[in-house]
Amino acid sequence: MAKLKILEFPHPRLRIRAKPVETINEALYQKIEDMFETMYDAPGIGLAATQVDFHYRLLVADVSAENNEPWVLINPVIIEKEGLEVTEEGCLSVPGYFEEVERAEHVKVSYLDRAGEQVQTGFDGLLSVCVQHEMDHLDGKLFVDYLSEAKRQRIRKRLKKNRRHRSHETAAIL
């Protein structure tokens, strides 16, 4: 397994719309394992393939406190939405920022599981929010897109400043 580099906002590749997965094979299984390792290490509860510069419709999630309830959704499509809720969201591609976002309270999703079987599952609560958030990534959308332009600009500037600061710290160590 290998930890992957997570693209950070406003990286342009985060805006690429992911293509459907055509073949489930060993290379895809390895990518799934690498995504889980990256997500758990970050630490996070969900990761879309787009965030690690792999532009296929694939996401992994695990909202359990013990990291023992992994979900793999390949080519996910929301087929039903119910209710609305506002929750505070963060994102591994927008590190350190949390904002309230309105999402469906319940979603029913059709997808291929890790074995390539077509499945339909209903998701509620935090897992519902996580799945919707990661599916947005597959369409080139980030949670900051739900915010005002002024908030997006402030976040973009602070992240740029933080990256510049981190690169100066790294250079000082070398």
| Residues that are catalytic | 134
Do the Cβ atoms of 90 and 98 come closer than 8 Å?
yes
Do the Cβ atoms of 53 and 7 come closer than 8 Å?
yes
Distance CA 99, CA 32 (A): 28
CA atoms 112, 44, 5, 19: torsion sign: positive
